[in-house]
Amino acid sequence: MYVELIALALSGGHAVAAPAERQQQAAEPQQALAIVAEPRIVKPEDWSRACKDGDDWDKPGPPFKVYGNTYYVGTCGITILFVAGENGTVLIDTGTEKGIWLALENVARIGHDPTRIGLLLYSHEHFDHVGGMAAAQNYTLAPMLASPEAAEVLRTGKDNPRDPQAGMHEPMRPATNIIAIEPGRPVTFGGIAFTPISTPGHTPGALSWQWEACERDVCKTIVYADSLSPISSDTYRFSDNPEYVAAYRAGLAKLGALECDILLTPHPSASEMITRARNGTLEGGMTCAQYADSKIKALDERLAKEAAGK
């Protein structure tokens, strides 16, 4: 079954916000971004020369086509994706409050109007990936989809107490117009079906996404897999939270079983995106199964350290 986002079809692919909300959003400062009439989209190998593993989250990087209708518009250190459907466009993640403007500029550089972005998706509810969500909504008036666990974090800008990294980050600007969705049920927008997969672990409300991109008659399945690294505050112990660990493992099992021609991750280095891009394509290299296995190993190592009292 598909989630029908009827409101998104209104006003040229945008959700119609309440008048008070529109007035508040319109009062926010906005940057004018020039749309490139004849865009020059660099190749993946050009991006790999401009960026390197470990780059700053806000270091500008050139946009490039991943495959078909899917483009990388993020910074060198943070993945942000733009998907152009037949009658609507989608932005996945926003980066930081500074990074979102670099991403929107990259959208304009590939010849698309960033104000016409109709839907916002995310990977997990930390500031380095969704810190710019409020700014993106103010600029585009687009709604965002979120898991029930992440929705409250995005609405308030405050950490979920169940987050292993709770208390480590400054509050984010709250987002609005959030639609809670059921993971596992595909969402169609712009003629593209996006399937959200619940992959908690790095955060309680994390989602991975799967969709299809085509070039002529050749279609590839893209998976944007969440970070899934067992990072936490000094006081958090995964072993004290067995239900959380069980959900963590269940998400990794689902991720590892996905059809996955092209793997992308919120931090490019996590799936060797720059190394793969040097070959001119992000196809091949690390698979979803290999990525999931690496995260299972990291979780097991973390649990072993906790058991050893380290």
- Each residue's pLDDT tens digit, 198-256: 999 999 999 999 999 999 999 999 999 999 999 999 999 999 999 999 999 999 999 99
- The Cα–Cα gap between 302 and 308 comes to 10
160-205 residue pLDDT tens: 999 999 999 999 999 999 999 999 999 999 999 999 999 999 999 9
Sequence-distant (≥ 6) Cβ neighbours of residue 217 within 8 angstroms: none
Return the closest-CA partner of residue 226 out of 71, 122, 80, 90: 122
162 token code pair: 């169940």
Tell me the mean pLDDT in the region 41-67: 95
Sequence-distant (≥ 6) Cβ neighbours of residue 36 within 8 angstroms: 108, 109, 110, 111
Q: Which amino acid is at 282?
A: L
> Does 53 have pLDDT greater than 70?
yes
Q: How many helices (H) and strands (E) does the chain have?
A: 9, 12
249-263 residue pLDDT tens: 999 999 999 999 999
pLDDT value, residue 218: 97
Look at the chain and count its residues.
310
122 falls in which pLDDT band (50, 70, 90)?
very high
CB-side exposure of 194: number of CA atoms within 13 Å? 32
- The Cα–Cα gap between 207 and 307 comes to 29
Average pLDDT across the chain, whole number: 90
pLDDT value, residue 31: 62
- The dihedral through the CA atoms of 51, 56, 62, 64 has a sign that is positive
- The more confident residue out of 13 and 67 is 67
Return the closest-CA partner of residue 201 out of 160, 245, 254, 169: 245
pLDDT value, residue 279: 93
DSSP 10: S
